[in-house]
Amino acid sequence: MDPLSDAVKKRGADAYVVYASSRDADMRYLTHFTTSDPFVFFKKPGTKGVIIVSQMEVGRASREATASIMTRTQAGLPDILKTENDPYRATAKMIAGQVGKKILVPPDFPIALANSLSEYCTILVDGGTVRSMRAKKGKNEILFMKNVQKSAEKAMGCAISLIRKASVKKDVLYLDQKPLTAEYIKFSMHSLLLQHGCTAVDTIVSCGEETAIPHMTGTGPLKSDEPIVIDLFPVEEKSGYYADMTRTVVKGEASSEIHDMYTTLLEAKRRAISRTRAGVSGAHIHQTVVDFFKDHGYESNSRGFMHNLGHGVGLQVHELPIVGPAGKELISGNVITIEPGLYYPGTGGVRLEDMGVVTKTGFENFTAFPEELIV
pLDDT, tens digit only, all 375 positions of the chain? 799 999 999 999 999 999 999 999 999 999 999 999 999 999 999 999 999 999 999 999 999 999 999 999 999 999 999 999 999 999 999 999 999 999 999 999 999 999 999 999 999 999 999 999 999 999 999 999 999 999 999 999 999 999 999 999 999 999 999 999 999 999 999 999 999 999 999 999 999 999 999 999 999 999 999 999 999 999 999 999 999 999 999 999 999 999 999 999 999 999 999 999 999 999 999 999 999 999 999 999 899 999 999 999 999 999 999 999 999 999 999 999 999 999 999 999 999 999 999 999 999 999 999 999 999
Q: What CATH code is carried by the domain that includes residue 83?
A: 3.40.350.10
Farthest-apart Cα atoms in the chain, separation = 74
- Which amino acid is present at 81? L
Q: What CATH code is carried by the domain that includes residue 316?
A: 3.90.230.10
52 and 119 share one domain: yes
Q: What is the C-alpha separation between 352 and 14, in angstroms, rounded?
A: 47
Q: Domain total for the chain?
A: 2
pLDDT of residue 1: 73
Q: What is the C-alpha separation between 106 and 248, in angstroms, rounded?
A: 39
163 and 273 share one domain: yes
Cα 355 from chain centroid?
11
Decide: pTM greater than 0.75.
yes
Beta strands in 98-242 (DSSP E): 102-105, 122-125, 167-169, 172-175, 178-179, 198-199, 204-207, 227-232, 235-236
113 and 200 share one domain: no
179 and 222 share one domain: yes
Last residue of a domain, one of 134, 160, 189: 134
Q: Are 21 and 27 in contact (CB under 8 A)?
A: yes
Q: Examine residue 375 and state whether it is found in any structural domain, yes or no.
A: no
Last residue of a domain, one of 134, 165, 180: 134
107 and 157 share one domain: no
pLDDT of residue 219: 97
Range of the domain at 222: 139-365
Q: Examine residue 371 and state whether it is found in any structural domain, yes or no.
A: no
Cα 259 from chain centroid?
30
Last residue of a domain, one of 95, 111, 134: 134
Beta bridge partners of 40: 19, 52
pLDDT of residue 193: 98
Q: What is the C-alpha separation between 243 and 142, in angstroms, rounded?
A: 11
122 and 145 share one domain: no
